[in-house]
Chain A
Amino acid sequence: MIDFLKAAGDSPSEYVTHHLKHLQVSVGEGAFWTVNIDSLAMSVALGVLGLGLFWLVGRRATAGVPGRLQAFIEIVIEFIDGQVRDVYHGSRRFVGPIALTIFVWILLMNAVKMIPVDLPPGIAAAAGSEYFRAVPTTDLNITAAMALAVLLLMLGFAVAAKGAGGFAKELFTAPFHADGPVMKLVLAPANFGLNVIEYLSKPVSLAMRLFGNMYAGELVFLLIALLGMAGGNLLMSQAGAGSWIGGSLAFLGAVVAGAAWSIFHILVITLQAFIFMILTVVYLSIATEHH
């Protein structure tokens, strides 16, 4: 490969695996204490950005004719509030802000994907670090952490709605109801097992859905970048008319495919943020329901 087209490594597979490595810092013994500092920094920065923007606009909000930014923020808030109202039938004083935060934060984290795949690692390489993965939601740790927070919220909402005793009672009596004490005792282990599986499968599916979508999209972007790089290399090799035609065709294909995949990903980015948000609200509303 020609040097200035070569991002990292010598083979396509090395290029892809290099782009999938995190910038890691070890803070203690073992693999568990290895922190992916890049996704952590990006997610915190984007969270501060999103919250800061909303806080700033909220502080300066006027009751008169709104500015362009305030109108945009109002549209977002009203959209989220309408969605939450359809799903969650209770006080929205706490659930509404949660839904808004989740949606905006995940949307911002996913939207980092619209930056060309080679730009963040290139900037990091120029700044002296070997690896940098810019999209936080392509890191399973980040999505799993958000899903775990949702699980804790679910448990908190359930306890708050039914009380600790009521919640514990429901864990052992919920899906299969029985009348006699003997049958209740017989059905208790099955009920408990089913409830635990139900509570655990929700965060797992939340985390895997967001991570899988973003990770697969990232890999396809990398493959398209590889196609463009191969076309560029063929063009630069100047090995006759065949390499010229093939190189320009490959390069053109990469441009077309990259544009199409980016446009499709605008849908995926918003859709996944929306699905994570709406499922969180649905789960919270299920957790508060009495059986």
Chain B
Amino acid sequence: MELISAIQSSTAIAIGVIIGLGALGACLGIAIMGSKFLESAARQPELVPMLSGRMFLLAGLIDAAFIIGLAIALFFAFANPLLSSALTAAAGL
């Protein structure tokens, strides 16, 4: 029982760290890119159509690492493989 709750508590912390730090990095990246985009759009408005396409492409690329982390974190939240092995071991006792 204590082993299971120890696994659960450390998994909960890990999920928070994965999502939180990933979101932090992705937000900083998007913010820097967005500010640069606005700067260049203000400087050269005729480039906006080309730049906005590239911006969305890069937004998808920047988000990707965070989203992959989010998917893995949510996977651990609902189907924790570390916990299930402990549970099967406990059921076998």
Chain A interface residues (CB < 8 Å from chain B): 13, 16-17, 20, 205, 208-209, 211-213, 215-216, 219-220, 268, 271-272, 274-275, 278
Q: Are B57 and A212 in contact (CB under 8 A)?
A: no
Stretch of B9-17, B31-39, B62-70, B85-93 that contacts chain A: B62-70
Q: Are B61 and A212 in contact (CB under 8 A)?
A: no
Known: A17-B78, A17-B79, A216-B74. A271 touches B68 (CB 8 A): no
Q: Are B68 and A208 in contact (CB under 8 A)?
A: yes
Q: Are B56 and A271 in contact (CB under 8 A)?
A: yes
A-B CB proximity, top 5 nearest: A212-B68, A216-B71, A209-B64, A215-B71, A212-B71
Q: How far is the CA of A17 from the CA of B59 in the complex (A)?
A: 30
Q: Say yes or no for B60: interface residue by CB 8 A criterion.
A: yes
**Other-chain residue from B56, B70, B78, B79 in contact with A212 (beta carbon distance below 8 A):** B70
Query: For B67, what are the chain A residues with a Cβ–Cβ distance below 8 Å?
Result: 209, 212-213, 216
Residue of A nearest to B56 (CB): A271
Known: A212-B71, A219-B71. A16 touches B78 (CB 8 A): yes
User: What are 20 A-B residue pairs whose CB atoms fall within 8 Å in the complex?
Assistant: A208-B64, A209-B61, A209-B64, A209-B67, A211-B71, A212-B67, A212-B68, A213-B63, A213-B64, A213-B68, A213-B71, A215-B71, A215-B75, A216-B67, A216-B71, A216-B74, A271-B56, A271-B59, A271-B60, A275-B60
Chain B, range 38-65, C-beta contacts under 8 Å to A: 56-57, 59-61, 63-64
- Nearest CB in chain B: distance from A237 CB, A: 25
Given A211-B71, A216-B68, A216-B70, 6 extra CB contacts under 8 A: A20-B78, A20-B79, A212-B67, A212-B68, A212-B70, A216-B67
Residue of A nearest to B73 (CB): A216
**Other-chain residue from A211, A268, A275 in contact with B61 (beta carbon distance below 8 A):** A275
Q: How far is the CA of A213 from the CA of B62 in the complex (A)?
A: 12
Query: For A20, what are the chain B residues with a Cβ–Cβ distance below 8 Å?
Result: 78-79
Query: For A275, what are the chain B residues with a Cβ–Cβ distance below 8 Å?
Result: 57, 60-61, 64
Q: Are B68 and A13 in contact (CB under 8 A)?
A: no
Q: How far is the CA of A213 from the CA of B63 in the complex (A)?
A: 9
Query: For A271, what are the chain B residues with a Cβ–Cβ distance below 8 Å?
Result: 56-57, 59-60
Q: How far is the CA of A219 from the CA of B79 in the complex (A)?
A: 12
- Nearest CB in chain B: distance from A78 CB, A: 15
Q: How far is the CA of A271 from the CA of B57 in the complex (A)?
A: 7
